[in-house]
Structure 1
């Protein structure tokens, strides 16, 4: 075995046992991963300055990959997601400072303008969803 890998293997085994973070293969793995992601989200790990932000993002990627394989969502665009979230939170176009003015929101909803990376960051933080939900 490569000498560089031995400590990684040892740490990985311990990390998996403690955290439950691993490749998601079963519904039980999925539940464990989403529970941990929720706890990290509640702790503020979506904030890039949070010390566990990277862990949260890796876990989100694992959950997203499992979702895409087991629960594919066809035809849901970022704009569709935005409309859904606005409806669920009873928001009007002028109540989304993460995007900007009501006219900018209107242009995005009508397809004349695209969501930017900054819009998506702000929206995912506000609504507690993965940025991947808007892609």
Structure 2
């Protein structure tokens, strides 16, 4: 049982996942600082508000009470998500893909060599027909 656990922990994808979670948590603080310190104030300038949380409209309900619809919070969450996605792509994904392409080029492997060509639907149907036509023994 201990041996199986050791193999599980030492597997590359588990360690990669742990590293990704730790880096992601640390990176979130940086992205949040950029969004809160730079992007939110820029948007607040456009909407003449001190923060995105104040962006929205107020409606009076049938009881005469004011109800605030704050689309600024939603806009902030969308901007935060897009900022994280852009930074993760350009800081992690794109450079790693370039490194892999260069390593493959040095090794003489082309993308066509990596993936075998799958048969077309017509070729599969011909193979099935041929198998069905064979006499069964």
The TM-score, its normalising length taken from structure 1, stands at 0.27
Which has the larger helix fraction? 2
Q: Relative contact order, CA 8 A, sep 6+: which one is greater?
A: 1
Which has the larger strand fraction? 2
The TM-score, its normalising length taken from structure 2, stands at 0.27
